[in-house]
Amino acid sequence: MVTKNELKYIRRLNNKSERIKNNQFVVEGEKSIKDFLSSDYKLKKLFSTHPEDFNLYEITEKISSSQLKQISFLKSPNKHLGLFEIKNKELKKDSQYILIDSINDPGNLGTIIRSAEWFGFKQIICSKNSVDCYNPKVVQASMGSLSRVDIIYTDLIEFIKNEKIPIYGTSKDGKSILEFSNNINTGLWIFGSEANGISNDISELCESFYSIPKSNKDILTESLNLSTSVSLIIGYLKFFNRS
C-alpha cells in the first residue's frame, strides 16, 4: 500500500534540490520506463495501476488511479511512474556532442535531447545554469531519449578554452548555415537560449555565427523555437554537409 509520505516524497522530486539530495528522479509512462530499464539507469521503485505490465513485483507498489493523479507531473497521468537513480556521467571524447548555453525551458531541452539522439549525438554539454535534465518536464519531452543521451553540466568558458578547436555559434544575425562548408568534425557547435542567445563571454570565443535562412524575405516571423533550430542545424550538418 502506498503511504502518504511516499506520495509527498514523489511530489517533492519536482524540485531540483530534492532530486540531488535523494539522487532520484521520476520517469512516467510505459515506453519511457522501458527505455530507462534497458539502459544503465537503475530502477529504485515502480508505482503502477497495472503491475502485471512489467512483472517487477519485488520493487513495484500497486497504486490507485486517484493516487497516481496526485503524484503525476502529467496532465493526463499514465499507468506507471518509476523512480530511477541519477547516474554519474563523464564526457566521452570519442562521441559527438553539442553545447547548450543557459537553456531554461524544460520542454526545449527535452526535445533537443530527442533530436540529438535522432541525429547521432550521444552527449550534450550544458552550462551550469541550464535547466536540470532530470526535471520531470525534460524527461517527458525527451520521450525516453534521455536514457541514451548523456547531459553533462560544466563551466562552458573553461570547457571551450580547453578544447582548443573552432567554436561555431548560432544567431539570427549570423551567416546562412548553407554557407558552412567545413566538415562537422572540425569544430563544436553551441546554441543559446531563446530569450538571450549565447552569452557575451562565450560569444567572444566563437569563430563565426550561423543562422537558418527564411524561405523568402517576406516572412514576418522573427525567429524559430530553439529546439527546432537545433534540429535543423544538426540535421543539415549530418546529412547535407559532407565536405
Domain parsing of the chain, residue ranges: 4-85, 97-239
Model confidence band, residue 4 (pLDDT cutoffs 50, 70, 90): very high
What per-residue confidence (pLDDT) applies to 210?
A: 96
Query: pTM (2 decimals)?
Result: 0.94
194-232 pLDDT per residue, tens: 888 999 999 999 999 999 999 888 888 888 999 999 999
55-111 pLDDT per residue, tens: 898 999 999 999 999 999 999 898 999 999 999 998 887 778 999 999 999 999 999
Label residue 120 left, alpha or beta by phi (over 0 means left) and psi (-120 to 50 means alpha): left
Give the three-state DSSP class for 17.
Answer: helix
Model confidence band, residue 128 (pLDDT cutoffs 50, 70, 90): very high
Nearest to 82 by CA among 90, 95, 73, 93: 73
What per-residue confidence (pLDDT) applies to 241?
A: 63
Model confidence band, residue 46 (pLDDT cutoffs 50, 70, 90): very high
What per-residue confidence (pLDDT) applies to 22?
A: 98
What per-residue confidence (pLDDT) applies to 95?
A: 75
Q: Does the fold of domain 97-239 match that of domain 4-85?
A: no
| Mean pLDDT of the 106-130 span | 97
CATH class of 97-239: alpha beta
Which residues, 6+ apart, have CB-to-CB distance to 194 below 8 Å?
Answer: 105, 108, 223, 225, 226
151-208 pLDDT per residue, tens: 999 999 999 999 889 999 999 899 999 999 887 777 899 999 988 899 999 999 999 9
Nearest to 129 by CA among 193, 50, 55: 193
Judge: domain 4-85, CATH 3.30.1330.30. Answer: yes
Q: If you ran DSSP here, which 8-state letter would residue 197 be given?
A: B
Given 3-state DSSP classes, what are the helix, strand and coil percentages for the chain, each rounded to the nearest 5? Answer: 35, 25, 40
73 within 8 A of 81, measured Cβ to Cβ: no
Residue 9: is its pLDDT beyond 90? Answer: yes
What per-residue confidence (pLDDT) applies to 242?
A: 56
210 within 8 A of 190, measured Cβ to Cβ: no
Burial 175-210 (b: 16+ CB within 10 A, else e): eebeebeeebeebbbbbbbbeebbbeebbebbeebb
